[in-house]
Chains A and B, each alone.
Chain A
Amino acid sequence: MKLTPSVLELDLEEVEKRIRRFIREYVENAAADGIVLGMSGGIDSGTIAALSSLSIGGPRVTGLMLPEKETYASKDIDDAKVVAEKFGLKTQVCDITPVLEGFYKTIPIFDQADKLCKGNIKARTRMIYLYYYANKLNKIVCGSSDKSETMMGYFTKWGDVAADISPIMDLYKIQVRKLAEHIGIPHELATKPSTPALWPNQLAETELGIKYETLDLILYGLERFMTTEEIAQQLSVKKPIVEKVKSRWLSVEHKRRLPLTPKLEYRTVGTDFRLPRHTY
């Protein structure tokens, strides 16, 4: 197998069709009244907002914009609004700053300088808002995590990844960008640099230390059981870079699973207790 950008090409028409069918059937089977999703103004959430609206109709989709003082950017709000208007979904803005300040004030060991711990509070607070709306409105929460960040563990446990369905979790970032343009997301937004918005000026590629163009091909190779030597050679990147990606991918499996429990009984939740996942 030759690792070139062409391996990430998709039959976008078919992928769009499958995702729309997946969303529609899940919402129908769950007897939900619609979908709630977070709109950060970024590419993943914009794509999910668009796909949700195309699947079940914009009026049944609620897009929540959840800004906070530290990372507030009016451009993000504007970008989210462009998608919302184009795809006809309802939006609501909730400023989460007072809630965050409540946490900061009431956690005795709170450390203002630890931006990761502080940032994770933001992601988990956004999750609480999304699930409140979902419970109250009898809707489901639609997640916008992609395969690149999920494989790298580049998300907050029980935070931004928390959702009832994740329709683009099997697509790498580069593929999400292509799908976004295919379904009508403006080019400017489809190519906008990604950020989890946990602290000011945070950029995914800077933090991961690698461009998605390279990362996605490394992950694609790992997904297909290629060795780190083969991947490094084919992409003309140094082997330690590929090994670092592989090591990170493997070390964060705990973030992608239910909590581990010791095997004590006949059938154990999360390991050999295998049941169909019903939505109705």
Chain B
Amino acid sequence: MKEKIKLALAQISSKRENKKENLQKIEEFTIKAKEQDADLVIFPELSLTGYVLHDQIYELAEIIPGPSTKKIEELAKKTGTHIIFGMPELSEKTKATIFNTAVFVGPTGFIGKFRKMYLPTHSVFEEKRYFRPGYQTAAFNTALGKIGLFICYDIFFPEVCRLTRLKGAELMVCISASPAVRRSYFEILTAARALENTAFLAYVNLAGVEDGLQFWGGSRLVSPTGNLLAKAKYDEEDLVICEVDYRDMRPVETFIPTLRDLRPELFDELKKQSEIL
């Protein structure tokens, strides 16, 4: 396993309902990232299709692996990079049951996927109308280290990140489609989740405007102490190359030993209390 890896925060603006154009953009950004020696290129939530899809999502969702993931697998093989991106996933067993999924592929093919666990259905969001939630956190052993995935609103629930970390993830990747009015929440939570889990956290948000929703970009890599290591522009498309040095985790874990100090009995109590809220 590499001690140091290079990430590319590929903050794109997706064209809604236009997979062809978005696949092309994913390819362009991946090639540019590879030219700068990136090992892992990360694209935002639902970057394959755009975020505001409403009923059209039934026409856009695909099984995984499916035609679009195959194309991105080929791109990963061709460029020798790892790629994470978001798409609506159609369940293999049904005709119209959809998940909001993060897909992880590498030079050797499909690595894994994560289905968004917390689906915002308030304010401008209507995800529960269209998506079934995921039930599993995800951390994958890869040539680039143990990498965990989660999506956007999941970050508001520390247990998702905690479980990902407890499964061994040292780099946690959060892909997102966050509109501008919520920027300050994510800026706080990305730092908090990295710090409380003493792990790296890469956050990649959409840019662009969809149906009046303005995605704020601001993608970032946060250190295990919650410091900002790299940051993309607000609002606009951007490609930021940054570095994760796993050796930085050891001194942090000794200085802020949150994992050593975990109290498992509290989780039983947490479960009990959350059931009777």
**A90-98, A105-113, A243-251, A268-276: which one contacts chain B?**
A268-276
A75 interface contact, C-beta 8 A? no
In the complex, the chain B residue whose C-beta lies closest to that of A272 is B55
Chain B residues, Cβ within 8 Å of A275:
54-56
B163 interface contact, C-beta 8 A? no
Instruction: Report the Cα distance A26→B17, complex, angstroms.
Output: 17
A22 interface contact, C-beta 8 A? yes
A18 interface contact, C-beta 8 A? yes
A253 interface contact, C-beta 8 A? no
B56 close to A18 (CB less than 8 A): no
Interface residues of A in 16-38 (CB under 8 A from B): 17-18, 21-22, 25-26
Closest chain-A Cβ to B122's Cβ sits at a distance in Å of 12
Instruction: Report the Cα distance A277→B208, complex, angstroms.
Output: 15
Chain B residues, Cβ within 8 Å of A273:
55
Q: Which of B50, B210, B214, B235 has the most CB of A within 10 A?
A: B214
A18 close to B52 (CB less than 8 A): no
B67 interface contact, C-beta 8 A? no
Known: A18-B180, A21-B235. A276 touches B16 (CB 8 A): yes
A21 close to B54 (CB less than 8 A): no
A2 interface contact, C-beta 8 A? no
A278 interface contact, C-beta 8 A? yes
B214 close to A278 (CB less than 8 A): no
Closest chain-B Cβ to A22's Cβ sits at a distance in Å of 6
A267 interface contact, C-beta 8 A? yes
Chain B residues, Cβ within 8 Å of A278:
16
Known: A18-B180, A267-B55. A277 touches B211 (CB 8 A): yes
Known: A21-B214, A21-B235, A22-B214. A276 touches B52 (CB 8 A): yes
Known: A18-B214, A22-B212. A276 touches B56 (CB 8 A): yes
**CB-contact partner of A25 in B16, B54, B180, B209, under 8 A:** B209
B180 close to A274 (CB less than 8 A): no
Could you tell me how many residues of chain B have their Cβ less than 8 Å away from some Cβ of chain A? 17
In the complex, the chain B residue whose C-beta lies closest to that of A26 is B209
A22 close to B55 (CB less than 8 A): no
Interface string of B72-97 (1 = CB under 8 A from A): 00000000000000000000000000
A274 close to B54 (CB less than 8 A): yes
Chain B residues, Cβ within 8 Å of A276:
16-17, 50, 52-54, 56, 210-211
Chain B residues, Cβ within 8 Å of A21:
209, 214, 235
Instruction: Report the Cα distance A11→B52, complex, angstroms.
Output: 26
Closest chain-A Cβ to B19's Cβ sits at a distance in Å of 14
In the complex, the chain A residue whose C-beta lies closest to that of B54 is A274
Known: A18-B180, A22-B209, A22-B212. A274 touches B16 (CB 8 A): no
Chain A residues, Cβ within 8 Å of B180:
18
Closest chain-A Cβ to B113's Cβ sits at a distance in Å of 25
In the complex, the chain A residue whose C-beta lies closest to that of B235 is A21
In the complex, the chain B residue whose C-beta lies closest to that of A277 is B211
Instruction: Report the Cα distance A21→B55, complex, angstroms.
Output: 26
Q: Which of B208, B210, B212, B235 has the most CB of A within 10 A?
A: B212
Closest chain-B Cβ to A198's Cβ sits at a distance in Å of 29
Instruction: Report the Cα distance A267→B55, complex, angstroms.
Output: 10
Closest 3 CB pairs of A and B: A274-B54, A25-B209, A274-B55
Which residues of A come within 8 Å of B, CB atoms? 17-18, 21-22, 25-26, 267, 273-278
Which residues of B come within 8 Å of A, CB atoms? 16-17, 50, 52-56, 126, 180, 208-212, 214, 235
The contact sample of 18 A-B pairs, CB cut-off 8 A, is A18-B180, A18-B214, A21-B209, A22-B212, A25-B209, A26-B209, A274-B54, A274-B55, A275-B54, A276-B16, A276-B17, A276-B52, A276-B53, A276-B56, A276-B210, A276-B211, A277-B211, A278-B16
